[in-house]
Chains A and B, each alone.
Chain A
Amino acid sequence: MKRRVVIALAAGAVLARPAPAQEGDPLGAAVSAYAQGAAVRPGRVKLQIDQLVDNGNVVPVSVSVESPMTAADHVTAIAIYNERNPQREVAKFTLGPRAGKALVSTRIRLATSQKLTAVARLSDGSYWSDTVSVVVALAACIEGDGIP
């Protein structure tokens, strides 16, 4: 009897665990907040960043989106989110048909090894994303210089 109760309790604990999309996934939560509930599909977006980052203070990133960039079909916005910096947002870009090409580059800070997601909003209201994991050797200083 006792053993059965223990097993039942254990099974209950496993089932009662909350869905991972809520607390354990701040990146996914930030991305869905940006999409305002719309479905974010993987594809069409390419987030280019070195998989192994030597210096987290200056990390070149570029985001490109497959789009003809015409008045009828273009990218209206691109946003970059991170998983484990003190703040989820990295940058938000506003584009339009006059951009000619959906390709933006910048340089960012990364506090630690983590995942990054680039999200693009198209003129038809759809959202597309790309996620990349990076390993950071030297973190951007968030608690002093890190050297005692």
Chain B
Amino acid sequence: MARTLLNVPKTARKGEVIEIRALIAHPMETGFRPGADGKVQPRDIIRRFACRYNGEQVFAAELFSAISANPYVAFHTLATETGTLEFEWQGDNGFAQTERAPITVT
């Protein structure tokens, strides 16, 4: 399991726009870079990121080799109801990870 860093407010007012920041530890090997043996290293990147709010997708991203190592994405969403935010990363070599963060909306 890769380490993740999620920045989600614990509480929010209903209808408030909240900022969410998500970072995951991953080398994001581009597939264009030679290694120590001079051969081009095979690509190993995270290709998809998605955020679901109580099961409904509110944001998604398609990532390419040009995204830096340890991909960081910041975006916004409307606080609608108390529940769970689910973050999912998918990538090369079967990489898949899901993290959750609770949010209380008043």
Contact = CB atoms under 8 A, between A and B. Distances in A.
Interface stretch (A13-21, A104-112, A127-135): A104-112
Interface in B4-49: 17-18, 30, 32-34
Chain B binding surface, main DSSP class = strand
A95 B59 contact: yes
A98 B80 contact: yes
A95 B78 CA distance: 12
Given A98-B78, A99-B77, A144 B33 contact: yes
Interface string B66-105: 1111011111111010000000000000000000000000
Interface string A44-63: 00000000000001110010
Interface string A73-115: 0000000001001110111111110111101111111100000
Interface residues of A, number: 32
A106 B75 CA distance: 9
A143 B35 CA distance: 9
Contact of A106 (B58, B74, B78): B74
B64 A105 contact: no
B68 A82 contact: no
B68 A93 contact: no
B53 A107 contact: no
Given A86-B32, A94-B59, A99-B78, A106 B72 contact: yes
A103 B75 contact: yes
Nearest to A85: B66
A142 interface: yes
Contact of A144 (B34, B57, B68): B34
A104 B80 CA distance: 20
B75 A99 contact: yes
Given A86-B32, A104-B74, A144-B34, A98 B56 contact: yes
8 contacts: A62-B74, A85-B65, A89-B66, A91-B67, A96-B58, A100-B76, A106-B72, A107-B67
Given A100-B17, A107-B68, 5 more contacts: A86-B65, A93-B61, A100-B77, A106-B74, A142-B30
